[in-house]
Chains A and B, each alone.
Chain A
């Protein structure tokens, strides 16, 4: 089982992303959970959301305290929120930032895998909006290899209709452009 914790701010679409990813994983024949951090959420305030994906039925329903992967949608949260909290040794951290993985590694003082991509820049170019939630799914799939990028197509089309392709293009670019440092 792979457990992912997403950090973002209210309104950046972390919850939408965990839903899209879980729906796509289930459609691909896997078992998955996607859930928000339970409770009230405010636009702009730090939020977290969670993904579990496995090849067998998932029974656990408690929170995720020791994720395999942390994905940061908004790099301004680094230093504000303890983003590496509980991250497994040998875990992976993915950040939406124009910085290099080594720069982020220094910022976080983290020794595991660090991957960065300018998701917001890609989202601006591909979709005309600075919202990188779907873009960063591409980054997550590349870093984790949990499923094929193509597996996202149906769930993104179902959710976004005529603007789905732009989201898929942005996702593909993040998949191709992400820089990974082990």
Chain B
């Protein structure tokens, strides 16, 4: 087993990407992603990796550059956060429609306004329908592993879709913590060279990003939807392969003490481990509490979510973004609609928390459980609340 080392997570992510034989990266720095951009450009400038680092003047150009490069057959990488991701937005569905296996790290951060640089999930949620595979990570190890795994998923000929990896800004990106870093040889054994199915090359002209009116457009949308749904099979296969090589297994939905739990909580991203401590505390008091962690956001793992929650009486969904004027947070909406037709399902509560970097200590998670346990008549279900927000 590799030795555990300590490093800032953003720097470690750049190191991991540096092991992936990328051909190019175009990354525009933005807090809290900047250390990825800085370290990756160092690796290129120091000759440690043989890649082109394209300096761009904006995130819109960064995504444009990786789209062009990926179309030309280059293994291409970018990273961003918050406003930078919003600025990329119009290009994201183009990358997926062109079936380009780009990978992107998102150092999740609140979206303005008011201006805020700290962590929540309000940057990724508006990108939900852009046709990308979307994965959330919980700690340094997952951030590193997924940064490598993403290339293999994206480039599989039965997938050919872009992947984003969501790494909580500051909470993860700015944390020095232990992890195991695979070696260059191990990564090369796992990740074969990228063989594009078509490239933009004058010797063999092809059209990418063509024009389509109503005679073809709906079919192309359906094809993209099917491609994203079908990618799940490959995602599971690649995670399985990773587990065999590195001993770390990943699933679309992870559970913690959930099997016999009467009350479950669902989290995404770095809050999962802190919530785990709340579960331990509640279990010690005799409360049958459990945790469900949603790792794969797109394609949404319907079957796994249904299976994970079906025996619980109550489910607390936590959201780190707001759907203003909507039915609740985006994760709540998704989970609720996934369970709507199930004969056996828990009642669902939604707490929107940790917005703009608001800290959520263990006691807050315990408080959420105590609150729903006290709601014996289920008066507060199917609605949402901003947890711990001053009136």
Contacts and interface: CB of A to CB of B under 8 A. Distances in A.
Contacts of A161: none
Contacts, number: 72
A29 B3 CA distance: 9
A18 B8 CA distance: 11
B6 A40 contact: no
A91 interface: no
A23 B6 contact: yes
B4 A61 contact: no
B274 A59 contact: yes
A62 B6 contact: no
- The A interface, classified by DSSP as helix, strand, loop or mixed, is mixed
Interface string A9-34: 00000000011001111110101111
A61 B176 contact: no
B173 to A, nearest CB: 10
A160 interface: no
Nearest to A34: B176
B362 interface: yes
B271 A19 contact: no
A18 to B, nearest CB: 7
B270 interface: yes
Contacts of B22: none
B140 to A, nearest CB: 10
Q: Which of A27, A34, A60, A62 has the most CB of B within 10 A?
A: A62
Interface of B: 4-8, 117-119, 170-171, 174-178, 270-271, 273-274, 276-277, 357, 359-362
12 contacts: A23-B7, A32-B176, A32-B178, A34-B176, A34-B177, A36-B174, A38-B119, A39-B357, A59-B277, A60-B277, A61-B271, A62-B361
Given A62-B274, A63-B361, 11 more contacts: A31-B177, A33-B177, A34-B175, A34-B176, A39-B357, A40-B117, A58-B177, A59-B273, A61-B171, A61-B175, A61-B270
